[in-house]
Amino acid sequence: GRVSWVSAPAPGAPPPKAVEPVPVPGLKPPPAAPAKQEGVKEAPPKKSLASAFGQFAQKPPEEVEGVKDGDIHGDSAVQEGERYFGALKAAIRRYYDVSSTISEQERMYLRAEVAIRIGARGELLDVRIAKSSGNDLFDASVVSAAKKASPFGPPPDHLRPELSGRGIILEFTP
């Protein structure tokens, strides 16, 4: 194939002339825009904005969880639990450091799941590895860190039966 280049016009050269379309035999030209006739009103749109908004106004309001005087940032049971579990993980993380004992390459792939049971006052009832990372040193470090970090803050009332019974499984990575 042949490549052709388009160059910019020389400075000071007159601008290029507009190119008229060349008629092609057998091809109809595109239709021109219809001229607006005076005295003829355009048809109204099929749906007006009022009817579109009217559809939304007919729906009943959705039931919203929470109370009128609740915390604007949310203090629902789920969010309260998430905050508590986040605090548990943060407390345990403070007590383990495997950076000097496990290579950086191996640390990238370590992931241990730890089962923890906590009493009503935040005391550690039980801690064990639920799913091993594959590295005994890392697993032992996480279990040891959980023991050192206890006692934890008391869990929210609605979580106490679950945390002291079945417990929770938290995932840790280096």
Spatial separation of the C-alpha atoms in residues 22 and 154, rounded to whole Å:
84
**CA geometry: angle 114, 118, 120, nearest 5 deg:** 165
- Note the pLDDT tens digit of each residue in 56-107: 555 555 555 555 555 555 545 456 678 888 999 999 999 887 777 788 888 8
3-state secondary structure of 169: strand
Give 117 or 84, the one with higher predicted confidence. Answer: 117
According to the 3-state scheme, what is the secondary structure of 69-84? CCCCCCCCHHHHHHHH
CA distances from 141 to 19, 25, 97, 144 (A): 78, 84, 8, 5
What pLDDT score does 66 carry? 55
pLDDT surpassing 60 at residue 118: yes
The kind and range of the H/E element at 149 are: helix 136-149
Q: Is the pLDDT of residue 138 over 60?
A: yes
pLDDT at 131: 96
Beta strand spans in the chain (E): 112-118, 124-131, 168-172
For strand 168-172 and strand 112-118, is the pairing parallel, antiparallel, or unpaired?
Answer: antiparallel
